[in-house]
Structure 1
């Protein structure tokens, strides 16, 4: 593992390797995130994230059921649920509860490094997973992507810099997320997102992630080709912000 992933990120990856597989029968149909994003007209495609805390200082104790219902009713086209426990306070239980409530795509947001995590995402009702280029080898990225697709799940392939993007563009990944947060320093730089979004071909779905605080940020990111916006901290602090962001 590269040196810049030492510390908390390396720690969370090790924890992910030991996560237990959840074996349950999936009853929820699969809602394709790509179709929901493409169907958006005359508004912004918002993926509202539920997370209880984050290394950057967030610490909210919101009711998950109320939050996801409100986001769906307010027009969000997807829900992202943090399931990583140590640093984000998430749980598989949160994912399972959300899947029983909403009828829009659900993203399992975690540091996915094993097929058993993808099995769990499928079994608990997730429709998409996150694959972070920075923490996977190229072979791992391809294998996990194909494994998810064989289950019918979509995958957001997340990049944070040009080197990540070069890897992602070697393959036919249809959804690419650009994270404004540097995974090593945790600093957020939205300008960097615009720069990378411009490099992504128009035939890919492009999602801007992290650091979005207001409508102006969204307008700016759309100039660079963003098709959807994954927003966590801003909405967790003030759920009513969804109305002005959409």
Structure 2
């Protein structure tokens, strides 16, 4: 099953992230091993796992390789990837999807990398931060299009702006993507429920899950929030989107 298909088929479409430390350098794994964290994600029902290989967050290619050895779930390599060889290497290490950041890539380079990812049977997970970037996503019907709620120019040290996702959802839908995702800065399960109920097909959650007592507890709180009519913010007479 592809990364996109796994996310779309999940009753709780949360990409759960493996990240060694946050943007300020604080350790996020604690006493847990990588394999223990991955097992906890599987127990919590993760359809996919994101692996941060960027050095800002203590990542490495070895981390992706370690996660791939611990699970058969589809894996996203989350890093600033800019070359065909990096995509090929991601595939070799066990990735099923690769992050491509529109803000970092000239339009022609982005198009070539999307094409190459698809040729490698990798899902392009294309990250946008405004409507113009969403409009620039090539072959969006074959991509996950994700709104990054954080600012990469500050190395994502500031809190996430979840209003960005709410504002950009129509532009992301207009790309023709099958899978619109809100990514990063999502810590509160109630906020996660609101984003899913607004129409996002998936979420990517890292630090919020890693700081929870157990991923399953965070997921249970998300389920409870989605079961409360008020969680979606819909008023009388408005239709709440059905849960998958």
- TM-score band, normalised by the shorter chain? 0.7 to 0.9
Q: CA deviation at 1:114?
A: 0.9
| Count of residue correspondences | 213
Structure 1 distance, partners of 2:221, 2:25, is 24
Q: CA deviation at 1:56?
A: 4.2
TM-score, with structure 1 as normaliser: 0.81
Q: CA deviation at 1:120?
A: 1.0
Q: CA deviation at 1:103?
A: 1.8
Q: Which moved more, 1:184-193 or 1:133-142?
A: 184-193
The residue aligned with 1:200 is 172
Aligned CA RMSD, in angstroms, stands at: 1.8
Q: CA deviation at 1:119?
A: 1.1
Out of 140, 145, 161, the residue aligned to residue 109 of structure 2 is 140
Structure 2 distance, partners of 1:57, 1:133, is 25
Q: CA deviation at 1:94?
A: 1.1
The residue aligned with 2:199 is 225
Residues 85-133 of structure 1: per-residue CA shift (max 9 Å, x gap): 2x11001111111111212110000000011111111001110000000
Structure 1 distance, partners of 2:36, 2:185, is 23
| Unaligned segments of structure 2, at least 5 residues | 224-244
Q: CA deviation at 1:172?
A: 4.1
Contact 1:49 1:231 in 2 (8 A): yes
TM-score, with structure 2 as normaliser: 0.81
Residues 42-69 of structure 1: per-residue CA shift (max 9 Å, x gap): xx20110011123245422341110011
Does residue 107 (structure 1) correspond to residue 54 (structure 2)? The answer is no
Higher helix proportion (structure 1 or 2): 2
Contact 2:16 2:204 in 1 (8 A): yes
Structure 2 distance, partners of 1:70, 1:212, is 19
Q: CA deviation at 1:173?
A: 4.4
Q: Which has the higher contact order (CA 8 A, sep 6+)?
A: 1
Q: CA 1:58–1:177 in 2, change beyond 3 Å: closer, same or farther?
A: farther
Does residue 97 (structure 1) correspond to residue 97 (structure 2)? The answer is no
Structure 2 distance, partners of 1:128, 1:170, is 15
Does residue 189 (structure 1) correspond to residue 157 (structure 2)? The answer is no
| Unaligned segments of structure 1, at least 5 residues | 1-30
| SS of residue paired to 2:173 | coil
Does residue 55 (structure 1) correspond to residue 23 (structure 2)? The answer is yes
Residues 136-188 of structure 1: per-residue CA shift (max 9 Å, x gap): 00011111111111011111110011221121268544310111001113332
Structure 1 distance, partners of 2:83, 2:203, is 26
Out of 152, 163, 181, the residue aligned to residue 132 of structure 2 is 163
